[in-house]
Amino acid sequence: MTRGKVPKNLNGVFRRNGPNPFYQPLGKYHWFDGDGMVHGVRLKNGKAFYANRWIETSRLKQERAYGRPVFMKIGELTGKSGLLTLISQKLKARLGILDLSKGSGQANTNLTFHANKVLALHEMDLPYVIKVLCSGAIETIRRASIGPPASQKPPEARTKNPKAERRTDPPATANYPPPLRKIEEFTAHPKVDQETGEMHFFGYNLYSAPHLTYGVLDAEGNLVKSIPINLPNGPAMMHDMALTKRYAIFLYMPLFFRPKEMVVSGFPFIFDPEMPSKFALLPRDAADASEIVWFNLPAGMIFHVANAWDEEGKDGPKVHLYACSTSDYTLNELVSSNSTKGIHWSREDVSVTPKNNTPYCLTRKAEQNSADMGRFIPGAHGGMGMSTRGDATVDFAAIPRRQLHAMGDPAISLRAASSKSRDILNMSGEETKSEEDRDTFALFHFTFDPATGLATQRRIVDPKQEDCDAYLLEFPIINPRYAMRPNRYVYMATFCDGMKANGFVKCDLTKDEGGGWATMVVGKVEYGKQRFGGECVFVPPPGEEGGEEDEGWLITLVYDARVRKSFLLVYDAGTMEVVAEIDLKTRVPFGFHGLFLGEDDLQKQMRGSTTSGGENKGGGDVEMGKV
Ligand SMILES: [Fe+2]
């Protein structure tokens, strides 16, 4: 412990997913390419345990069998050689060198909890069910299978959740519900309706139609809806979605997949500023995609949504959506130029798993301390730390450095790379953008009125409005208890240099009166010199709902480049002051999204992952937790 104390009532497991390549990449490397590694800290009674593990994906298992990287990486998809790489992967699959039947994703993007299962997510693959042990370490259970049974059962047998039935009661027509489809793709950002227990998701397919599929899992994890959706402008990257009580909202941004243009433009994902951003509002009780209401807005790119809700009116609901967006974006800036001196990757900084897969063991002292936290199983590989007695002091001194996996600084840049000036007029009537005033991610407020077909977008908080180090806002989060209903506070990471977040801000949406940053940013945290973080996870206080919206904690990992170590930071979400800082004694790679499991959910997923809970009880053959 370097500062403060872990609150005694903050008990559970903080986990954060992110890329960490098991093998040193042979070619160019993209930040999205690394194998999924889950890092995290178990907090209990003021003590802390750190652990990390790779997720045992089909891809990782196959590469481990070959002893080298054999799968295609996004970073390699550049120029003519990129096209050859794309063809080569298909050829390898035909020749049996690669088995793509079990997916090729890295499970490196997000974690979520549903139907008593913890899922590791990657948008180019199905989820992996993992089990979080009482110690905080994880075990990979299996790759999920989501789809209908061999013979679909009568529609009336499908809906098992009475709340869901009430909420999304479909029209009584002979054609409803449509046949369920086997799910092949799954987003890294599904949305769980906390009231019904349903998980709403989508999956996009770059290579074949349908390029988009919307699906719903009921509270038990059974597939109860799957709707194919045609994308009128071809396949595109779609990272997040939004959910309100009435609508599932799909963000069809003009970041198109055009592999043939790789030869000319150098990268297969092309942001086309001449095309609109299209927002698809599909009623949750829709029978098929014909009920979608499409809205067009000026070209933009959204990776992450903060929240969305319905505002009821006499003519029907008006939908509000808050998200971080930019009108200019390129994905290829996340590619390192060299495999050994890459900006995400440095040989000297990353310890590759020992050849013999020797388990990393706790010291005797730590094992003694972990006894009251359940059985600590080191697993096949992966670094870990351990706590000592006292107020969550973490002592990693006995852990060989080579066993503590960490990566170099991702000094990549998300800044817009376009060199051409062009006119982009957004709905708020802002000035034309020029290359001197390049656009980056800011917080936007979107509204959609299905009754009139009108949509608006407005940039409400932009770091350029303030003289501060940050140039970009991303990773928006809220108190999860306020999802799908009007909320007040949005927390966002502030990026100062590439994907280095130097802090985060707290925005008050009720103060949106045109003042922008000056009036809406009501709290700001700076990690300090040479200290960088990423997304925060909001943890409401344990117990029943109530209290203020900003009552709770914000937890994040911060890397201190001066001492080459990472720290777990716990902030009071109300005051934005540090509550606790825990020295992890090692460097943790920058990553993506995290999850906090409270004590109850921790126990539920322990049971759910080791029993047949979640297996098919209705119409789907979902086996999210069957092992
Ligand atoms: Fe994401």
Pair 223, 155: CB distance under 8 Å: no
The better pLDDT of the pair 611, 189 is held by 189
Q: Which amino acid appears at position 121 of this protein?
A: L
pLDDT of residue 439: 79
Ligand 1 center from residue 187 Cα (angstroms): 9
Ligand 1 center from residue 302 Cα (angstroms): 10
Ligand 1 center from residue 535 Cα (angstroms): 10
Q: In percent, how much of the chain has pLDDT > 70?
A: 74
pLDDT at 82 over 80: no
Ligand 1 center from residue 592 Cα (angstroms): 6
Long-range contacts, stretch 573-577, CB < 8 angstroms, 24+ apart: 573/479, 573/489, 573/491, 573/506, 573/538, 574/548, 574/550, 575/523, 576/506, 576/523, 576/524, 576/525
Ligand 1 center from residue 109 Cα (angstroms): 6
- Separation between Cα atoms, residue 185 and residue 194, nearest integer Å: 23
Ligand 1 center from residue 371 Cα (angstroms): 35
- In terms of phi and psi (left: phi > 0; alpha: psi -120 to 50; beta: otherwise), the region of 528 is left
The H-assigned helical ranges of 95-223 are 162-167
Q: Which residues have CB under 8 Å from 366's CB, separation 6+?
A: 49, 386, 387, 388, 395, 398
The DSSP result for 48-111, as a single string, is EEEEEEE---HHHHHHHHHTS--S--GGG--HHHHHHHHHHHHHHHHTTSS--TT------SEE
For the four alpha carbons of 600, 603, 607 and 609, in that order, the dihedral sign comes to positive
Question: Which one, of 108, 143, 87, lies nearest residue 30 by Cα?
Answer: 108
- Separation between Cα atoms, residue 615 and residue 138, nearest integer Å: 21
Ligand 1 center from residue 520 Cα (angstroms): 24
For residue range 488-509, what is the model confidence (pLDDT) as tens digits?
999 999 988 767 899 999 999 9
Ligand 1 center from residue 360 Cα (angstroms): 30
Distances in whole angstroms, Cα of residue 271 to Cα of each of 254, 334, 592: 6, 14, 22
Ligand 1 center from residue 415 Cα (angstroms): 18
pLDDT band at 158 (very low <50, low <70, confident <90, very high): very low
Burial of 545 (0-12, 13-18, 19+ CB in 10 A): exposed
Q: Which residues have CB under 8 Å from 603's CB, separation 6+?
A: none
Ligand 1 center from residue 391 Cα (angstroms): 33
Ligand 1 center from residue 572 Cα (angstroms): 24
Three-class SS of residue 156?
A: helix
Most confident segment among 145-149, 261-265, 474-478, 510-514? 474-478
Query: Is this structure's pTM higher than 0.75?
Result: yes
Pair 555, 568: CB distance under 8 Å: yes
pLDDT band at 431 (very low <50, low <70, confident <90, very high): very low
Ligand 1 center from residue 110 Cα (angstroms): 7
Ligand 1 center from residue 188 Cα (angstroms): 7
For residue range 243-280, what is the model confidence (pLDDT) as tens digits?
999 999 999 999 999 888 877 767 788 899 899 999 99
pLDDT of residue 481: 96
Ligand 1 center from residue 373 Cα (angstroms): 31
Peptide bond into 177 cis (omega under 30): yes
Q: In percent, how much of the chain has pLDDT > 90?
A: 50
